[in-house]
Amino acid sequence: MIKFFPEHTNWYKGNLHSHTTNSDGAWTPDEAVEHYKANGYAFLCLSDHNLYTDYRYKYNSDLFLILPGTEIAAVLFDEKDGYLKMHHLNGILGTKAMQEQAKSGLFQHMERIEPIVAYGDWDGRKVTEAMAENLRDHGCFITYNHPVWSRVEPHEFEIGGIYNSLEIYNYNTVNESGTGFNTTYWDEMLRKGMHVNADAADDNHNGNFPDNFGGYVMVAAESLTHDNILNALMEGRYYSVGGVDGPRIDQIIIDGRNVTVSCSPVERVNIIAGGYVGAGTTIMAPKGEKITEASMRLSGTETYIRVECVDEYGRTAWSNPYYL
């Protein structure tokens, strides 16, 4: 029997992608921390553009953690200085073991990482690989952010083993331009045999439209420490949520060929599977009702499964994959 989450665990809500007045956000770091704490968050990465910050000394407590980090960029311009494509990757300070193995040492508080700039054309795949290598060599947990919004081609970022998580939901770009859903790319990678987890984030800037508290991760960990949270992220012991106060995934169990999902009341549960055409299933509540459990029997030919729990407002909770 496989259980996605430990039987007895603590759950911690966190945001892996946010911005402050240190780059193009409207909130100061002080304001950001206070707002996220007031909304039930236990950890936060202030991932300002091309600027690594480490505010642990100022904000950490027994009930709240800062995850030091940055969002680094590469930009492809046309001859009119218009943005053709971008790569945005988050580097979040990794576990103690990752820090000790960092070939280039660790980024320092307020250290700037110069963006990569190109004109007309580039080898987008090599750029992604170089960016990920830089973050990895500095002891970072790596996410690849909002590929639909960035207008990149699949071959430029669908690369196995170089980043830890693909940002499949970005609340900011959902509300900015309807370009924040990235699950199709995730399934492309999984169907090709790549092993990669996913995350949702709000990418808040607090500008001309609401973009805070609408994308987050729920991490299962023994206690709230940096290593516990990062180890859980590395191992996929979390689920991702799109939408303010979205659905909850309580447990996913694989017992032989039977898959059972337990969740908060939702309208539908999608059990998405790799394998032959038609693999997977959707379990829908009767009209006007909700469900808190769903099940499926595996055929034995599936290559992976992942779960989506969707409520009546379209808010969604995504599990990480389990490889069969």
Q: Please report whether residue 2 resides in a domain.
A: no
Using the 3D structure, point to which of 188, 220, 245 is the last residue of a domain.
Answer: 245
* Distance, C-alpha 256 to centroid of its chain: 29
Quote the tokens at residue 185: 């790319």
Q: Could you tell me the CATH number of the domain that includes residue 261?
A: 2.60.40.730
Which CA distances in Å does 128 have to 49, 150, 322? 16, 13, 26
Quote the CA–CA distance of 236 and 269 in Å, as a whole number.
20
- List the chain pLDDT tens, one digit each, 324 residues: 999 999 999 999 999 999 999 999 999 999 999 999 999 999 999 999 999 999 999 999 999 999 999 999 999 999 999 999 999 999 999 999 999 999 999 999 999 999 999 999 999 999 999 999 999 999 999 999 999 999 999 999 999 999 999 999 999 999 999 999 999 999 999 999 999 999 999 999 999 999 999 999 999 999 999 999 999 999 999 999 999 999 999 999 999 999 999 999 999 999 999 999 999 999 999 999 999 999 999 999 999 999 999 999 999 999 999 999
Using the 3D structure, point to which of 184, 211, 245 is the last residue of a domain.
Answer: 245
Give the model confidence (pLDDT) of 146-173 as tens digits. Answer: 999 999 999 999 999 999 999 999 999 9
Quote the tokens at residue 65: 């953690």
What is the domain range of residue 282? Answer: 247-324
Q: Please report whether residue 86 resides in a domain.
A: yes
- φ/ψ (deg, to 5) at 227: -65, -40
Which CA distances in Å does 266 have to 3, 12, 293? 21, 21, 9
- φ/ψ (deg, to 5) at 228: -65, -45
Strand partners, 262: 251, 293
* Distance, C-alpha 206 to centroid of its chain: 20
Strand partners, 305: 273, 322
Using the 3D structure, point to which of 195, 211, 245 is the last residue of a domain.
Answer: 245
- Give the total number of structural domains in the chain: 2
- Burial of residue 2 (CB within 10 Å: 0-12, 13-18, 19+) is exposed
Residues 272, 222, single domain; the answer is no
Its pTM stands at 0.98
